Amino acid sequence: MPVIREVRVIPPPPGEAPDQSPMKVSKTLIVTRGLTHRCPNCGAKKLFKEGTLFRLNAACPDCGLLIERDEGFFLGSMTLNYGVTILGVLLPILILYLVGAFSGVVAAVLAGVSAIIFPMVFYRASRSWWLMSYYFFLPKHLPANRGELAPGQDENI
Ligand SMILES: [Zn+2]
């Protein structure tokens, strides 16, 4: 088995300085924009198509940021929506039923109605929060933070 004795830091090629520039869009701004359903890149309130409740724009009309990044990208937002529905709505109803606040019939009807209504109400927030969490952990993927792409360079860095 080979033993690594020293670690060398390889300097960047001549003419290419390492990117030490501060990000134009900070993580705080990404969270603020995500919580208010705005584009994480430019701040425009255009994640959803105008006049619709549930139709997401494929890209931001103002800055061109891809919102529908890949097929299945928003699978996580459905998981988020499901989790918040379970933990934030159905679990409290179950607890209230168990402590005797509701009868079984009232709890079942309330849980059934809430399980249908709440995910629809939370839909827009779950999409925005999922996009926010992606760029919160990978802020350099925002076009405002990474700058121009070189020809042939993947936008995922
Ligand atoms: Zn934008």
Which chain residues have CB less than 5 Å from ligand 1, an ion? 39, 41-42, 44, 60, 62-63, 65
Place of tokens 């705080």: 28
CA-nearest of 138, 127, 39, 135 to 77 is: 127
pLDDT of residue 146: 80
The span from the CA of 91 to the CA of 95, in Å, is: 6
Instruction: Say how many Å lie between the CA of residue 45 and the centre of ligand 1.
Output: 8
Tell me the pLDDT tens digit for each residue of 3-35. 555 655 455 556 655 555 677 889 999 999 999
Tell me the pLDDT tens digit for each residue of 99-157. 999 999 999 999 999 999 999 999 999 999 999 999 999 998 888 888 766 676 666 54
Q: Which residue ranges make up each domain of the chain?
A: 27-44+56-143
